[in-house]
Amino acid sequence: MAAKIELGKKVPNFKIPSSSGETLSLSSLKGKKVVLYFYPKDSTPGCTIEGIEFNDLLAQFKKQNAVVFGVSRDSLKSHDKFICKYDFKFELLSDEDEELCQLFDVIKEKNMYGKKVMGIERSTFVIDEDQKLVGEFRKIKAQGHAAEMLKFIKDL
């Protein structure tokens, strides 16, 4: 997958392992709005806040015909622990090979304790019912982000 996604353009179909035990494909979500939020790591403070906030607003996202997926490079086993610990009611997608991260261009150089590392930049993408990219949010703050995304979807 060399092509990068662009606002207003159709997002190429992708398939990715999901915490549901199934392989999720974008094409199976046609007719729904899709919120894909990329986060650095399971069970870390910011990622936990973000996940809890999305979970708390899930019913409201459903009312807007929207589904929410968290995406990180963590394994499905790690995702399962994260889901169980916080009782998440939405699926987490495991992008260990970084295919989805590359498509959405979220792998960035970060500074961790003085060391330069490549990691996921907290980012969210909103895909409409026709699978066009209608929202792109980068370098976001975890706290309050889910509510901002809900407002964005309501305003579409």
- Write the pLDDT tens digit of every residue in 30-56: 999 999 999 999 999 999 999 999 999
Classify residue 17: in a domain, yes or no.
no
- Write the pLDDT tens digit of every residue in 136-155: 999 999 999 999 999 999 99
C-alpha distance from residue 146 to each of 24, 47, 70, 108 (Å): 22, 12, 11, 22
Calpha distance 99→118 (Å, rounded): 15
Classify residue 141: in a domain, yes or no.
yes
Classify residue 15: in a domain, yes or no.
no
Query: What pLDDT, on a 0 to 100 scale, did the predictor assign at position 3?
Result: 64
Classify residue 61: in a domain, yes or no.
yes
- Write the pLDDT tens digit of every residue in 109-132: 988 789 999 999 999 999 999 999
The domain of 64 spans 44-155
Query: What pLDDT, on a 0 to 100 scale, did the predictor assign at position 37?
Result: 98
Catalytic residues: 47
The residue whose two tokens read 């169980």 is 84
Q: Which of 62, 63, 51 is nearest to 146 (CA)?
A: 51
Q: How many structural domains are present in the chain?
A: 1
CATH code of the domain containing 150: 3.40.30.10
Classify residue 143: in a domain, yes or no.
yes
pLDDT beyond 90 at 102 = yes
Classify residue 38: in a domain, yes or no.
no
144 close to 122: Cβ distance less than 8 angstroms: no
Q: What is the pTM of this model?
A: 0.96
